[in-house]
Amino acid sequence: MPNHHSSLTRSRVRKSPSFLFLSFLIPLLTPATSLAQNGDKKERNKGLLTSTNWRKWAPDPAPFLEPEETAKSFKVAPGFRVELVASHPMIKDPVFAEFDMQGRLWVCEFQSYMRDADGSKTDDPISRVQVLEDTDGDGRMDKATTFLDKVINPRSVSIVPGGALVAAGDGNLLFCEDTDGDLVADKRTPVAEYAKAAPSNIEHAENGLHYAIDNWMYNSKSSRRLQWRDGKIISEGTNSRGQWGMASDAFGRLYFNNNSNWFQTDSEIYDRLYGTPSAPGRGVRAIRTNTAMNRAYNPGMIQEDGRINGVTSVSGLAVHSSGAFGTEWEGAIFSFSPGTNTVGAFQPNAPMPATTGYKHRQYDDKKWTKREFLASTDERFRPVNGSFGPDGCLYIVDLNRGIIQDKKFLTSYLRRQSEERKLDKHIGVGRIWRVVPDKYQPKVAPTDLVGALSHDYLWWRLAGQKRIVEGNMTKLVPQLTELAKNSSAHGRVHAMWALAGLKSLDQKVIDHNLSSEEWFVNLTALRLAGEATGNPHAFPAQFVSAAEKLGKSKVKLVADYAGKIVKTGYPNRFASVYKDKMSSWVKNDKELDRAYRSGLTVYGQYCAACHQPTGKGLKNVAPTLVKSDWVNGDPTVLISVAMNGLTGPIKINGKPVTDVPPIMPPHMFLKDDQMADALTYARNAWGNKAGQITAAQVKAFRAKHGKRATPWTEAELR
């Protein structure tokens, strides 16, 4: 394991360094899932489920390509090249990777995931966490050590003092220790419940462990954030975000997504000052046909050229913030679409702090008209993860599978196509790639932790801050205090956050930085002023005068924030976290009270990421449930939508819905009582008031329609 001290003597500079800090994501190939295969084979609508439309565009088996062949299949934006970092047999089925500060790459594998079209033995403890090393400095990993084996599909890793936190697929967060320094864990201890849904629903379980500037680890499919302090996990509520993957930038913005949405952002860390810009659309342009999708038989899903129009399988994402791609790409978001074998790129419309939106970058292609930033003709190229590493370059985890749809949602249509085209073959492989600018010039690595906080690349700044704070390195406080006063803007900001994490932020540092000429330094000093006085939720009176001066700043963002906190103090730091308020009629009905409380838990686990904890829905993802006639009306209609899904355009309270995809995935996998309680909760939360739905009603519906594999339409239900 890494030796957690301030010297980085083992870090090395090489011509082509290959560091990586990634967020994990298992992709969904479509938001429209189906019943189990055995069930949908009996569906009466044979015209859809028995479709073999793929033969029009992709009649032949999909060839397996070795890494060198896949490399030739790439088309990348002008000015960039793609390099291989690691491949099988060194790694198998990689889904997550993170580098430590000694240059070793820690990789999580999913070896028991979808080993065949039946998803046999998914819970076998045969997966590993591999530690890879580049011993000759040529940029490619050449040594592998198994840090942890005999584990069920580990989904995330975070390097911490004394070991590593590993998110295992059995619903536990494990603290794994290497007590003798041989890079092999000889002790594993469960320290928290994590990804509780993974054993039963691997595509809808907590993931991430992404360390952000405020010293918290953020997670997708989760409404909590975590810290590692003194060998224990600290958990705190946060806004529910995303489905798979998590990232952040140098300005404290968080990035996440859903399978049909390239990306979203929020700035809860900085009191929601930056707004919530999101992807400008769902359009995607591949350079090969996209027939191997779970419901590609739906009319209109595939274009005449064999490609799909909109993303349905978005997974991880990465943000170029203080990286090696140059100023043209500063603030750009790179998002991964494994179902279309592409990586999309989105550039901001203005530099921070003026960013309000993004432009989707696509490139001319002689054969396909347009293509994404990175696209491949290899159907098994599955970019499920990515991030910018300490060298400032973009890294991509390629699961390299034919079938990546979980058995719980795999349709017989996709299974049939996969078997015919041999997409179910060639498992146990995988690659990690690096996207490098043609004019790339490596930066010198920092030589100590304090120096890392002012490095040109964000990876080093966050990694150094993480080690200082999690290691409780109070001996560095004098150096950090000096750095917080006299450094680059980002160096001062990271030093302030590190001092706050050590509970050692001096009021003199705040006073000094409130008069800085750097807008981000001003903003951070305002944000952390309360931390310096021991009360993070109240803006200190002694800084009001300085804040009033900043109220006249030429940077509108700073002026607005300063004026607001002078007038009303800090906002509720967790106002974005929905606090459920049970209505009186619920409290007064014992059975309704029970169902409501149970339903709140089920809703939070399976519904809130799309429809949000507030029930108000999410643009480009899901419609509102608040005061909706779909929710408050006929209970059978609501059960139908929740069980089998809904497709096509709809109206809510008589008004057409235009800002969400025309599809709602089915949730037939929920038990009768879970479904009943979740729907009861929705019918009695957020100002809704309707009757209770019982498990008996759901059971009766399942007996009548349980073999239906296609979603309902509004015309059928209305």
Q: How confident is the model at residue 498 (pLDDT cuts 50, 70, 90)?
A: very high
For residue 366, the tally of other CB atoms under 10 A from its CB is 5
CA distances (Å), origin 429, targets 11, 41, 121, 385, 607: 29, 31, 18, 16, 33
List alpha helices for 80-222, DSSP H: none
Q: Are residues 632 and 526 in the same domain?
A: no
Q: What is the pTM of this model?
A: 0.81
Residues in the chain: 718
Per-residue pLDDT tens over the stretch 245-274: 999 999 999 999 988 999 999 999 999 999
In a domain, 477, yes or no: yes
In a domain, 468, yes or no: no
Give the pLDDT mean for 103-130. Answer: 94
Per-residue pLDDT tens over the stretch 194-251: 998 888 888 888 999 999 999 999 999 988 999 999 999 998 888 889 988 999 999 9
Q: Are residues 198 and 121 in the same domain?
A: yes
In a domain, 456, yes or no: no
In the predicted structure, residue 39 carries a pLDDT above the cut 70: no
Q: Are residues 536 and 590 in the same domain?
A: no
- pLDDT of the residue at 46: 52
In the predicted structure, residue 8 carries a pLDDT above the cut 50: no
Q: Which residues of 592-629 are buried (b: 16+ CB within 10 A; e: fewer)?
A: beebbebbbebbbbbbbbbbbbbbebbebbbbbbbebe
In the predicted structure, residue 32 carries a pLDDT above the cut 70: no
Q: Backbone phi, then psi, for 85, in 5-degree steps?
A: -105, -40
- pLDDT of the residue at 14: 34
Residue at token pair 């400032």: 392
Tokens of 443: 């930066």
Q: How confident is the model at residue 43 (pLDDT cuts 50, 70, 90)?
A: very low
CATH number, domain containing residue 93:
2.120.10.30
Q: Are residues 592 and 557 in the same domain?
A: no
In the predicted structure, residue 15 carries a pLDDT above the cut 50: no
In the predicted structure, residue 19 carries a pLDDT above the cut 60: no
Number of domains in the chain: 3
To 10 degrees, the CA torsion angle through 385, 256, 27, 370?
-80
Euclidean distance between CA atoms 128 and 121, whole angstroms: 16
Mean pLDDT, all residues of the chain: 89
Tokens of 187: 């002790």
Check the CA dihedral 517-356-386-163 and report its sign. Answer: positive
CA atoms within a 13 Å half-sphere pointing along the CA-CB vector of 494 = 31
Tokens of 344: 């999309």
Per-residue pLDDT tens over the stretch 577-634: 567 888 998 999 999 999 998 998 788 767 876 788 889 887 767 899 999 999 999 9
Q: Are residues 563 and 591 in the same domain?
A: no
Q: Are residues 506 and 385 in the same domain?
A: no
% of the chain with per-residue pLDDT over 90: 75
Euclidean distance between CA atoms 521 and 537, whole angstroms: 19
Instruction: Give every CB contact of residue 703 below 8 A, 6+ residues apart in sequence.
Output: none
Which of 47-61, 274-288, 413-427, 632-646 bottoms out in mean pLDDT, i.e. has the lowest?
47-61
Euclidean distance between CA atoms 678 and 672, whole angstroms: 10
Q: Are 189 and 204 in contact (CB under 8 A)?
A: no
Q: Are residues 206 and 293 in the same domain?
A: yes
Q: Are residues 531 and 665 in the same domain?
A: no
Of residues 351 and 600, which shows the higher confidence score? 351
Of residues 301 and 328, which shows the higher confidence score? 328
Euclidean distance between CA atoms 171 and 155, whole angstroms: 10
Q: Are 615 and 626 in contact (CB under 8 A)?
A: yes
Give burial (CB, 10 Å; 0-12/13-18/19+) of 44. Answer: exposed
Residue after which a domain boundary falls, among 568, 599, 625: 568
Q: Are residues 101 and 156 in the same domain?
A: yes
In a domain, 24, yes or no: no
Residue after which a domain boundary falls, among 568, 595, 623: 568
In the predicted structure, residue 343 carries a pLDDT above the cut 80: yes
Helices (H) and strands (E) in the chain, counts: 21, 32
CA atoms within a 13 Å half-sphere pointing along the CA-CB vector of 519 = 16
SS3 content of the chain, % helix, strand, coil (to 5): 25, 25, 50
In a domain, 639, yes or no: yes
Q: Are residues 559 and 601 in the same domain?
A: no
CATH number, domain containing residue 701:
1.10.760.10
Please state whether the peptide bond connecting residue 2 to the residue before it is cis, i.e. omega within 30 degrees of 0: no
Residue at token pair 């991509």: 396
Q: Are residues 433 and 547 in the same domain?
A: no
Of residues 601 and 564, which shows the higher confidence score? 564
First to last CA, the chain: 61
CA distances (Å), origin 543, targets 158, 281, 473, 525, 552: 37, 43, 28, 10, 15
In a domain, 544, yes or no: yes
Instruction: Give every CB contact of residue 572 below 8 A, 6+ residues apart in sequence.
Output: none
In a domain, 617, yes or no: yes
Q: Are residues 283 and 160 in the same domain?
A: yes
In a domain, 449, yes or no: no
Domain that holds residue 613: 584-717
Check the CA dihedral 415-609-323-346 and report its sign. Answer: positive
Residue after which a domain boundary falls, among 389, 411, 437: 437
